[in-house]
Chain A
Amino acid sequence: EAGVTQSPTHLIKTRGQQVTLRCSPISGHTSVYWYQQALGLGLQFLLWYDEGEERNRGNFPPRFSGRQFPNYSSELNVNALELEDSALYLCASSLVTGVTVNTEAFFGQGTRLTVV
């Protein structure tokens, strides 16, 4: 069974540009989470999508946005890129069952974004 897949694996962008990162969850999972991992730092929560809706948002500016499609895949968009946006962007998926009860979250390999 395929795990969480992310594309592209690496990306170089210029300051001020826009970028779109993509994530396909594990088959059967309805929730997708996005995290930012800057070099040498921990994982910072960005966004949580479930059943096509944004459920929760981390402490990031509005230029970080995303969406989830009917097939549960997701995109993360970052506008007006800044140098400090350089990081590994990780996507995870899980299944929400019952009343907001989440299963384990599994991560993809990430997209390494470099802003120059």
Chain B
Amino acid sequence: GENVEQHPSTLSVQEGDSAVIKCTYSDSASNYFPWYKQELGKGPQLIIDIRSNVGEKKDQRIAVTLNKTAKHFSLHITETQPEDSAVYFCAARVNQGGKLIFGQGTELSVKP
């Protein structure tokens, strides 16, 4: 069935370091892969996304890579800042299904 695995579940880095979160999806028909940031007490906020016809996308300090063959996609945050501390979720969607299937989340802690 549809499944998205996300690793690691927790990640602690020093301010200025890079952080990488990895996800694997099971449904080969998935063609849209967003990443969300959720701060305490708030709803998830879309930070970047990638579609299956693209291998990499970058937006300032954030980048996402997609390997369709391996069914892997990753979030890369460079020059981390304390305000990057939050729970990050990856997700995958098959267009006709509409719904997003989410990974289990990664709690990122950036220490000053």
Contacts and interface: CB of A to CB of B under 8 A. Distances in A.
Interface stretch (A14-22, A62-70, A71-79, A97-105): A97-105
Contacts of A109: 42-43
A39 to B, nearest CB: 12
Given A42-B89, A43-B89, A56-B97, A110 B102 contact: no
* Interface residues of chain A: helix, strand, loop or mixed (majority): strand
Interface in A40-58: 41-43, 45, 48, 50, 55-56, 58
Contact of B105 (A33, A42, A55, A96): A42
Contacts of A108: 43
A107 B43 contact: yes
Contacts of A42: 89, 102-105
